[in-house]
Chain A
Amino acid sequence: MTDVRKVISLRFAGTVGKFRLNVAFDAPMQGITALFGPSGSGKTTVLRCVAGLDRLSGRLSVGGELWQDANGTFREPYQRSIGYVFQEPSLFPHLSVRENLRYGGKRAVRAGVSEEIHFEDVVGLMGIAALLDRSTSTLSGGERQRVAIGRALLSQPRLLLMDEPLSALDHRNKEEILPFLEALHNTLSIPILYVSHDISEVERLADVLVLLDKGEVVACGALTELLADGRLPLAFRSDAATVFEGRVEGYDAQYGLTEIKVHGETLWVPGRVGKVGEDRRLRIVAADVSLSPERPSRTSILNVLPGQIRDIQLVDDAQVNVILLIGHGGLGPALLARISRRACESLAFSPGQKIYAQIKAVSLVGAGYSPSVVKSYDGAV
């Protein structure tokens, strides 16, 4: 049994208009849990129910505090220690940036909540020191959203809810905000429920993934696991990819490559991507992985990892997904390879077989997270 103080445990069922929602899952009280699914899958409704802005019957406990149950317990939104970042920044136009930031904080102090997140820290973290005395109407979209995130943090939440905070921004503003979200992830211990329909955001930020479709939970678990799960639609996208964590081991100045260790195996990534000892999140597109029964002796491909086939799934007439586990004993993280069915059959690949994966491109997504988040988490209810 999971310790209730370490999870957000929720169950909601009901109808909103014509839409039927029936979801239940546990999310860890740390790290980023992404609610991912197509539009109309109920992601935002779940988030609004957690905030208390919408009310469906069910039960919700956050870190051991009961916010809603079937016996009539229902905390109003203003009684819940949440920060909510809406899709559009929704700053108060009649208040300055500073007043916007202080709005929730003042009320938290009045309510007797101890001030653990400090004004100066948030201003530094979000890079908004120069904006404080400006009117909100003079800010760019990205600046507004950073202020909105800062405002939510300063209300001293136990839980941060983010509803597609990047979707209203153009590409440049998005790239401007992502590092701040990663910084948030690495600096603060507040758990985040993050709604998104953009898999690249999820791959970059999330630790735990809740997959929603048509108002129901399709799957729930560690991001790295679900991305490589051949039973889920994620593995069948044309840009299917897996992510995993590695640690920077060194830098080869002669060839400009950074050495990153993943479960004892070495990967070379172009450029200097971090200091020794830092964690980095790596993303490998399934189509960039080719497989060979023996270690290739002469190849232009830098990254060749040993592994063991766990499963083979048909994608269509021409292609298959091969799911392998990295490492000599097949004990490492899962990696997805997209190869042709013809190659798979002519090489007679089968589950359990030892194999070598040649990885044509490794991309770095984000700063990496503490793997303890996922290890302490044991999945759906």
Chain B
Amino acid sequence: MFESGELWPPIRLTLLLASITTFLLLLVATPIAWWLARSSARWKEAVAAIVSLPLVLPPTVLGFYLLLALGPNGPGGWIAGLFGGRSLAFTFGGLVIGSVLYSMPFVVQPIRNAFESIGARPLEVAATLRATPWDAFWTVAVPLARPGFITGAVLGFAHTVGEFGVVLMIGGNIPGHTKVLSIAIYDYVESLRWEQAHVLAGGMLVFSFLVILTMMVLEKRIRNNRL
């Protein structure tokens, strides 16, 4: 067989990357989704389109530009300089930035839809009951948009786990640092180590199935609780 020590690091790294990415995405995507749902700015659909670009852009194209941006001559290099590094490319930090951008539409869209489906009325009601906009956001908008947050978080997490093209472009294949699951599977297949590829790919299959199933059950439960 094979040593289990070899399989574990990519799994650990992938879960860590997906968790951090999902956490950051919820922080970043929520205000963007709120603004997209509530603003009447004429150029808001342009912003929505930019956020959604990763849906249609080949991952290699996104990865290429990210590589430039994270490299020593881009803003990523400047940031890395602050911490005594040269570049964010081929680092775990770079992977996080890439994943956040790449998975952004999967988180923004469901949250935006949830905010939009609430409509203006509950927030108006809250305002007439002396709630400030900040207060109403946390006590009315967020609880009512909870299904959107759950869907967004699950999709963002799952999508980051499955990411391949972007990671390959900006992270390469450094074991323990940037070698995530999908890359590991690719490597095993390349080197004809089918057994290991089977374990990881099969695991991914089960994982993906469980994610979708959980989401469907959760959504149904939420819908039944309400109305």
Q: State the A residues within 8 Å of B (CB).
A: 51-53, 76-78, 80, 82-84, 86, 88, 90, 92-94, 103-104, 107-108, 111, 137, 151-152, 155, 161
Contacts and interface: CB of A to CB of B under 8 A. Distances in A.
Interface residues of B, number: 20
Given A137-B226, A137-B227, A92 B140 contact: yes
Interface in B130-172: 130-133, 135, 139-140, 143-144, 146
B121 interface: yes
B125 interface: yes
A107 B136 CA distance: 11
B57 interface: no
B199 interface: no
A107 B121 contact: no
A82 B125 CA distance: 11
A14 B121 CA distance: 23
24 contacts: A52-B127, A53-B128, A76-B127, A77-B124, A78-B128, A78-B129, A84-B124, A84-B128, A86-B125, A88-B121, A90-B121, A92-B140, A93-B227, A94-B143, A94-B144, A94-B146, A104-B128, A104-B130, A108-B130, A111-B130, A137-B226, A151-B129, A155-B129, A155-B130
Interface of chain B, main secondary structure? helix
A366 B12 CA distance: 73
Contacts of B202: none
B125 A84 contact: yes
B128 A152 contact: yes
Nearest to B146: A94
B122 interface: yes
Residue of B125, B130, B133, B143 with most partner-chain A CB within 10 A? B130
B227 A107 contact: no
A78 B226 contact: no
A104 B129 contact: yes
Contact of B128 (A82, A92, A93, A111): A82
A77 B143 contact: no
A78 B127 contact: yes
Contacts of B122: 90, 92
B71 to A, nearest CB: 47
Contacts of B124: 53, 77, 84, 86
A215 B183 CA distance: 67
Nearest to A157: B128
A192 to B, nearest CB: 14
B119 to A, nearest CB: 10
Contacts of B131: 78, 103-104, 107
Contacts of B135: 78, 107
